[in-house]
């Protein structure tokens, strides 16, 4: 009995001594649904680290880590945090979440104040990223948050891109949004405004001077 107890204790000690990356996800494994990026915020994290960790969390749709990083001071857009971490040209957090189709993370970022029409690369907003990947649910949520579907990238609007790709669900959502907007404009023509829309939660965030298209990595 004492021999088995000794063996078990040795195994526990060995496991504790293993580096954290011994349990890291290997290529081809099924991704964990939650908290892949950071098991816990155990120390003060600098702005550059916040950008990097948020970038990874948004790419993977790791909602738990996104919330923990926001609580730790990460900027929902990532623009200011990126200034302290210049290793590659950035894709902003909302773009990464939209590109991956991570609706829960998109919702978290918007509630935290992410700028819905923040451009990156050649001027793409998160709406374009969602359209590129046929993320219909994300397209709908971004439109609800006030995304501008009239913006053009390389001379094309989001709906034109969707039509070229044959994305019927996305086209339908964009058409419905355009019709609703047009109808609302006609109904309100010549009428006094009854209320004003609140400003975007994101406010006037600094814009990137130039950044090449940073697709989800």
Angle formed at CA 105 by CA 151 and CA 133, multiple of 5 degrees: 50
Per-residue pLDDT of the chain (217 residues; tens, 9 = 90+): 445 444 434 444 443 444 444 434 444 444 444 455 555 555 567 778 889 899 999 999 999 999 999 998 999 999 998 888 766 778 899 999 999 999 999 999 999 999 999 999 889 999 999 999 999 999 999 999 999 999 999 999 999 999 999 999 999 999 999 998 888 766 655 444 433 344 444 444 444 444 434 444 4
pTM of full prediction above 0.95? no
User: For residue 23, which phi and psi values (nearest 5 degrees)?
Assistant: -105, 10
Contacts of 217 (CB under 8 A, 6+ apart): 59
Torsion of CA 217, 67, 199, 158, to 10 degrees: 30
The answer to whether residues 98 and 127 touch, using CB atoms and an 8 Å cutoff, is yes
- SS3 for 121-139, per residue? CCCECHHHHHHHCCCHHHH
Domain ranges of the chain: 38-185
Quick one: fold of 38-185? 1.25.40
């Amino acid at each position: 009995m004492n021999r088995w107890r000794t063996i078990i204790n040795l195994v526990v000690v060995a496991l504790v001594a293993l580096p954290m990356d011994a349990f890291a996800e290997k290529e081809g494994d099924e991704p964990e649904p939650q908290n892949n990026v950071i098991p816990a915020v155990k120390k003060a994290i600098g702005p550059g680290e916040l950008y990097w960790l948020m970038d990874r969390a948004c790419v993977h749709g790791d909602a738990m880590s996104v919330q923990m990083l926001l609580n730790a001071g990460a900027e929902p857009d990532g623009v200011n945090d990126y200034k302290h971490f210049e290793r590659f040209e950035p894709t902003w957090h909302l773009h990464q979440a939209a590109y991956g189709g991570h609706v829960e993370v998109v919702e978290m970022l918007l509630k935290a104040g992410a700028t819905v029409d923040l451009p990156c690369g050649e001027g793409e907003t998160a709406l374009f990223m969602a359209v590129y990947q046929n993320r219909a649910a994300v397209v709908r949520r971004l439109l609800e948050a006030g995304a501008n579907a009239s913006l053009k990238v390389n001379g094309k609007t989001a709906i034109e891109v969707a039509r070229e790709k044959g994305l019927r669900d996305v086209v339908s959502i964009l058409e419905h949004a355009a019709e609703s907007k047009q109808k609302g404009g006609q109904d309100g023509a010549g009428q006094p405004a009854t209320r004003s829309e609140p400003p975007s939660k994101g406010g006037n965030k600094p814009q990137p001077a130039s950044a090449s298209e940073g697709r989800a990595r």
